[in-house]
Amino acid sequence: MSKKTILNSQLSTLNSQFFAFVRKEFYHIFRDMRTMLVIIGIPVFQILIIGFAISTEVKNVEVAVYDPSNDEATNRIINQLDASEYFNVVRRLKSANDVDNEFQKGKTGLIVIFSEDFGKSLYHTGDAAIQLLVDASDPNQGMTISSYASSVIAGYQQELLQETNVPVRINPEVRMLYNPEMRSAYNFVPGLMGLIFMLVCAMMTSVAIVREKETGTMEVLLASPAKPIYIVVSKLVPYFIISWIIFILILLLSVFVLEVPITGSLVWLNVFTLIFIVVALSLGLLISTVVKTQVAAILASGMGLIMPVMILSGYVFPVESMPPVLQWISGIIPARWFNEGAKKLIIEGVPVRSVLKEMMILLGMAIGIITVSLRNIKTRLE
C-alpha cells in the first residue's frame, strides 16, 4: 500500500468510526433531556440570580450619627440627610466607641461622623471634615449610599455658599467597610464559569465514560476493532462544544443582563476559556480512568474538583486573604488560574500578555493531565 492509500484508509476509519461515535454521544446527551436542562439551566439560573441580587436601588437606609460638635451646621446636615427619601437618621451615637459596634448591631447602612468643632472650623477656616462609613458588604448598594450621602453634603455646601457668599469646603472622607476592594457581583462571573465548566466537562464526561463500563457496552466496544482512543475522545467532543455554547451564553447574559462590560479582547478571552475547558475535560478523562462506577465518578468529581473550586479558586473567598498553605494549595487548582485570568480579561481589560502566566499554567496542566490519563487508559484496557 502506498502512503496515500494508507492515509485514505485511516481517514475512512476516522470517518466511519470516530464520527459515528460522536453522533452517538450527541444522541445520548440530547435524549437525556433532564441532564441537558441541568447543564444549560444552572449557568442561566445562577447568572440571573446574581443579576437580581445586584440592586442599585437605595431607599430609607438607616443612618447613625456621631456628632461631638452639635452645632447649627451639623444639625442642618443631619436634618437634610433625614429629609431625603434615601436616608433615615435613626440613632445618635454618644461616643466614638459606639461607632465600632454600630454596624454589627442593626441594619445601619451609613454612619456619619463629624469632626469636633465642625461648625467653628467651617466658619473660621472654610474647611471642615466629615467621615462617611459605609457598609459595603453589598458593593453596589455601598457605592450608591456613598454617592447619595456625598451629594446631600455637597448640596448643603451649595446652600452655604449662597447664604454667606463665603466659599467653604466640606471634605467627606468615605470609607467602605467589609469590602474594601469593592468586589462586586461581576467578580463572580469568571468564578461561576470555572465552576460550571468543572461540572459540565469533568463531571459529565467522567460519568459518560464510566457509564459505558458499568453497562457493559465498553467491553463490547473493546472487543470490536474500534480504536479505544476514538471511543474516549469522541466522548469529549460534545461536551467541548456544549461548554463553549454555555460560555457564550454566560457572556451574553453578563453583558445584557448584568451589564458587565467585557473590556478585554473577546478573541483571547475565547482562547483562554477553551484552554480551561480542555483542562476540565482532561480531568474528567483522568477520573474516568480511575473509578469504576458512575456514583464513584460523581463523588470523585464532586469532592475532588467542584468542592475545591468553590472554596479555593477565589470564587467565594479571595485567594489573597487565604492563609499561605491554602494559597499554595489553590495553586494546583486550575479554576484558580482561570478565575484570575478571566477576571483580568473581562473586568480589567488588560492585554493578553498580562494573562500569559495563567495561560501557560493552564496549558501545562492540560498537557500533563492528558498524558497521564492516556497512559492510564492504555494500561487499564489491557
**Binding residues for another protein (CB under 8 A):** 13, 16-17, 20-21, 24, 27-28, 31-32, 215-217, 219-226, 382
State the cell numbers at 126: 472654610
> CA–CA separation, 168 vs 158, rounded Å?
9
Q: Are 279 and 334 in contact (CB under 8 A)?
A: yes
State the cell numbers at 21: 461515535
By C-beta, is 117 or 219 nearer to another protein? 219
By C-beta, is 105 or 378 nearer to another protein? 378
Burial of 99 (0-12, 13-18, 19+ CB in 10 A): middle
> CA–CA separation, 132 vs 130, rounded Å?
7
Residue 43 CB, shortest distance to another protein, in Å, is 24
Residue 230 CB, shortest distance to another protein, in Å, is 9
Residue with cell 476540565: 280
Distances (CA, A) of 179 to 55, 143, 248, 320: 17, 11, 30, 13
By C-beta, is 183 or 227 nearer to another protein? 227
DSSP state of 137: S
By C-beta, is 34 or 59 nearer to another protein? 34
Residue 231 CB, shortest distance to another protein, in Å, is 9
Residue 23 CB, shortest distance to another protein, in Å, is 8
By C-beta, is 36 or 360 nearer to another protein? 36
Count the residues in the chain: 382
**What are the residue ranges of helices labelled H in 31-138?**
33-53, 72-83, 96-105, 118-125
By C-beta, is 27 or 178 nearer to another protein? 27
Residue 42 CB, shortest distance to another protein, in Å, is 22
Residue 294 CB, shortest distance to another protein, in Å, is 14
Residue 349 CB, shortest distance to another protein, in Å, is 45
Residue 13 CB, shortest distance to another protein, in Å, is 7
Q: Are 133 and 175 in contact (CB under 8 A)?
A: yes
Residue 229 CB, shortest distance to another protein, in Å, is 13
By C-beta, is 67 or 212 nearer to another protein? 212
State the cell numbers at 117: 468643632
By C-beta, is 221 or 271 nearer to another protein? 221
Burial of 118 (0-12, 13-18, 19+ CB in 10 A): buried
Residue 3 CB, shortest distance to another protein, in Å, is 20
> Within the chain, how many helices (H) and strands (E) appear?
17, 5
By C-beta, is 167 or 225 nearer to another protein? 225
CA angle 293, 294, 296 (to 5 degrees): 65
By C-beta, is 4 or 31 nearer to another protein? 31
The 3-state secondary structure of 142-208 reads HHHHHHHHHHHHHHHHHHHHHHHCCCCEEEEEEEEECCCCCCCHHHHHHHHHHHHHHHHHHHHHHHH
Amino acid, res. 67: D
